[in-house]
Structure 1
Amino acid sequence: MKVQILGTGCPKCKKLAELTDQAAKELGLELEIEKVTEVAKIMDFGVMTTPALAIEGKVVLAGHVPAYEKLKEILVKAGPVGGPDAEETGGCSL
């Protein structure tokens, strides 16, 4: 899963990157983390306040560093825990 940290490198932007990496490891998610620091590219996402987090090119939060548990919730909703080899639970099989 591709995650983009949008920010100019301020302390809050660095904290969001650090927490995102930590949460992904704790959840067993395989992330490709890209730090987007160029203002023009950040604005291409429609973001005017940083830090911001985009998952697969979609902005999921902007303007603050969320609580750690909230960040984990965001990551879980965005992708399967355990990566592509995670065991499926529930669902139907044909």
Structure 2
Amino acid sequence: MTNIKVLGSGCANCRNTVALIEQVAQALGAPIQLEKVEDLRAIMAYGVMSTPAVVVDDRVVHAGGIPTRDKVEQWLRP
């Protein structure tokens, strides 16, 4: 199971990023554990300065804007 965290304040881009990841995971049949992190201290602990940011298995893979569908598919493929 892939552990994914979306870091952000809860803005529209953050919500859209969560929705995109859920859609791609469902389409691929990829098991994920998705967590939304809105606490500023927790976000800063990852060294992220722009949101939304995505953390996959404790590694920051994206920051600053909604990722592309292709990018999300790459994260979720084995």
TM-score (norm 1): 0.77
- The 2-side partners of 1:2 and 1:67 are apart by 19
Deviation at 1:46, TM superposition (A): 0.7
**Unaligned stretches of 5+ residues in structure 2:** none
The structure showing larger relative contact order (alpha-carbon pairs under 8 Å, at least 6 residues apart) is: 2
Larger Rg: 1
Runs of 4+ in 1 over 3 A off after TM superposition: none
TM-score (norm 2): 0.92
The root-mean-square deviation of aligned C-alpha atoms, in Å, is 0.9
SS class of match (1:64): coil
Which structure's residues are more often strand, by fraction?
Answer: 2
Question: Is the CA contact (8 Å cut-off) linking 2:56 and 2:75 kept in structure 1?
Answer: no
Deviation at 1:71, TM superposition (A): 1.7
How many equivalent residue pairs?
77
**Unaligned stretches of 5+ residues in structure 1:** 81-94
Paired-residue identity, %: 38
Matches within 5 A, 1:52-67: 52-67=53-68
